[in-house]
Amino acid sequence: MLKFWKQFGLTIVLSATACFAADKEHGTVIGPVTLYVAPDATAQQLGRLTRGRDIYLMDHTMVDGKPWSHLLAVVEVDAERGTSREISGWVNANVVITISTPNGDQIIYGEAVDSESQAEMRGGRKHAAEDAMRLYYRLYEYFPTSPLAGEALWRAADIRWQMEKSDVMTRPSSREMDPDLRNAMDDQTIKLVIKKFPHTKWADLASYDLIDNKLCGAWKGEAHCPEKESDLYEKYVREHPTSPKAAEALYNALFREAALVEIYKTTHEQDKSEHARKKAIDLAQELAAKYPEGDWKPRAMELTFALQQNIPIYGQGGASSTK
Amino acid sequence: MVKQWKQFGTLALVVLASALSFAADKEHATVLREATLQVAPGPVSEKLAEVERGSDLVVLEQSNADAQPWIKALVTLVQGDKVQGEKTQGDNARQVTGWLPARSVVTASTPNGDLIIFGQAADSEQRAEERGGRKGAAQDAMRLYARVTELFPGSPLAAEAMWRSADIRWQLEKNDSAHIATQDLGPGERKMIDEKSMQEIIKKFPNSKWADLAAYDLIDNKICGSWRALAECPLKESAAYEQYAHEHPQSPKAAEALFNAAWRQAALVDIYRIDGDKNKSETARKKGLALGQELVNQNPPGDWKPRAADLVYKLEKKIPVYGAAE
């Protein structure tokens, strides 16, 4: 009998927990907001939530005509170490967007774009890029069927990628020829885009970012790197011909072939130099024919002219960068 | 005597006509890469000046030296170009004649010359935007784009090139320290951005995308450097952006202008509220909502619809957008 009551009690507790969890609404906040112990702006403050934080809405109430939300929120404890913890408290409900907010996806996306724009502005808001990254990710997470979900996940992944790239490229190891000698960018979120939205524009863009991890930090006048990079970019074009990055990839491949013309000349390999020249001109013609819109066609034509006129585009008199 | 004067007049006309004919015959050109202007063709001649990408050249003569083609050209050097190791001073351009290798010279008769110059201009523009990009790359791009329009006025790229050149000049002047230093002063005391190039685009390519973009840049001269939490500036700016959006509905900047107008109204809600002017605050809120909703209803491509939806939500929920965040 005792066993029965124990089992009954456990069932009741589990059912109540499950019911409570189901009632909670996932969401985020679109502005910085203070977390209070009680729904009162004079109550003790528990912490501050920044844009895009993951929240669970547990309750809501009105106090003095103002809406308040009781949340369980994930907050950063140590930004450097990336540690976080969950705390619960009350916030001004106006900045809370949940899965049941009408046009919630549009609102989160709009706030993310605004944060991204702030991050790009001189003197823009501090940590605006991180805000944008979190907001875009929340949209994908909580509005997976929104027409904006694919783009939002791609943007979140790309912001993370670009921030990490910027960090990696400031280290001395970034100037090593071998890309394996520097820290690689974490490709987890980028690969998630490819997995969740295969054969889309966003998957194409994610695949293009992945090339970064395979590029040499410097060519040092040797043929090995531009040879390998030209192949990488050409392979990308063949595999993603409709990508918004296809023309750029083709240009990058032909630029590397044009650079090889000069590199082989310095090693007195005339045959290879001539072969690279022909390959570059072929790629330029392909670019002009397949991707006539935008700046890549004129840029390819200019590179062809430089090759025809024997104007060096790499090394002395030419570009010194690898891009 | 009369006959003598008649003969003199005829002679003068012949001289004038031949001079004009000479000027008309001369082919204009530009260089795609930096080049050294020399006294004579060949690698050992004395150097006269460094010619920057996109400089204006007049081809006078062609020759071969060391099995390479050379061009004798009249080069217009502007402020900043190096002449015999020294930089030219002042705003006055000066002209120098000399020889330079023909391989990087593009003339009006070069096949696909418009595409080639435009391509180098786009490349220079990208270099200017890169961290650690080539010094002076923005100015190179500005000159090269200008040459596309001058050398190939019938090119399908002519209008866009003219716009890009004018816009680079505009952005350089806008970010110039002399302009920034006076930005907070009154309209009469501020250093205004020179509108000449933008007005030329509007005149030369009226009712085009490029004229719309030029008109949008012109708004910069009406924007305050700082609002100082006063209503006057956002009020004036909102009106300028709204006027633009309604006068240029097909412009690629129409949605951005409407958003800017709505956002300024949203800021006015907070400014008037802080001043204790509830009526004006509510009027601004309604106006901001109307402009934001107008943008949402237009369903423009890109990011402006979600940004407007976010702004409308904030106005509906009375979330401050200007000043204190909470």
Query: What are the pLDDT tens digits along chain B (326 aa)?
Result: 445 555 655 544 444 444 445 445 689 999 999 999 999 998 888 999 999 999 999 999 999 988 899 999 999 887 655 444 444 444 567 889 999 999 989 999 999 999 999 999 999 999 999 888 899 999 999 999 999 999 999 999 999 999 999 999 999 999 887 777 777 776 667 788 999 999 999 999 999 999 999 999 999 999 988 888 899 999 999 999 999 999 999 999 999 999 999 999 999 999 999 999 999 999 999 999 999 999 999 999 999 999 999 999 999 999 999 975 44
B25-106 and B111-222 share one fold: no
The contacts of residue A268 (CB under 8 Å, 6+ apart) are none
Written out in words, the top-level CATH class of the domain with range B111-222 is mainly alpha
CATH number of A53's domain: 2.30.30.40
Q: For chain A, what is the largest distance between any 2 Cα atoms, rounded to a whole number of angstroms?
A: 97
A89 in a domain, yes or no? yes
A122 in a domain, yes or no? no
A283 in a domain, yes or no? yes
3-class secondary structure for chain A?
Answer: CHHHHHHHHHHHHHHHHHHHHHHCEEEEECCCEEEECCCCCCCCEEEEECCCCCEEEEEEEEECCEEEEEEEEEEEEECCCCEEEEEEEEEEHHHEEECCCCCHHHHHHHHHHHHHHHHHCCCCCCCHHHHHHHHHHHHHHHCCCCCCHHHHHHHHHHHHHHHHHHHHCCCHHHHCCCHHHCCCCCCHHHHHHHHHCCCCHHHHHHHHHHHHHHCCCCCCCCCHHHHHHHHHHHHHHHHCCCCCCHHHHHHHHHHHHHHHHHHHHHCCCHHHHHHHHHHHHHHHHHHHHHCCCCCHHHHHHHHHHHHHCCCCCECCCCECCCC
If you measure CA to CA, which chain B residue comes closest to A306? B104
Flag if A311 and B123 touch (Cβ within 8 Å).
no
A225 in a domain, yes or no? yes
The answer to whether domain B227-326 has CATH 1.25.40 is yes
Domain end point (choices A67, A98, A129): A98
- CA dist B220 to A197, B167, B194, Å? 41, 12, 11
pTM here is 0.86
Domain end point (choices A81, A98, A115): A98
Q: Which two tokens stand for residue A213?
A: 């991890």
Q: Is the ipTM of this complex over 0.95?
A: no
Q: Cβ of A169 under 8 Å from any chain B Cβ? A: no
CATH architecture type of domain B25-106? Roll (2.30)
Domain end point (choices A51, A71, A98): A98
Pick among B36, B116, B145, B312 to test the A interface (most A CBs inside 10 A): B116
Q: Is the dihedral of CA B158, B160, B163, B164 positive or negative?
A: negative
A279 in a domain, yes or no? yes
A161 in a domain, yes or no? no
Pick among B71, B114, B160, B303 to test the A interface (most A CBs inside 10 A): B303
Q: Cβ of A317 under 8 Å from any chain B Cβ? A: yes
Distance of CA B325 to the CA centre of its chain: 36
Domain that holds residue A271: 219-323
Q: Spell out which residues of chain A touch residue B101, defining contact as CB-CB under 8 Å.
A: none
Q: What are phi and psi of B275, to 5 degrees?
A: -75, -5
Domain count across chain A = 2
- Nearest CB to B309: which of A31, A106, A311? A106
- Nearest CB to B325: which of A31, A103, A107? A31
If you measure CA to CA, which chain B residue comes closest to A320? B134
Domains of chain B, by residue range, sit at 25-106, 111-222, 227-326
Q: Which helix (H) or strand (E) holds B61?
A: strand B56-65
A166 in a domain, yes or no? no
- Nearest CB to A113: which of B32, B120, B303? B303
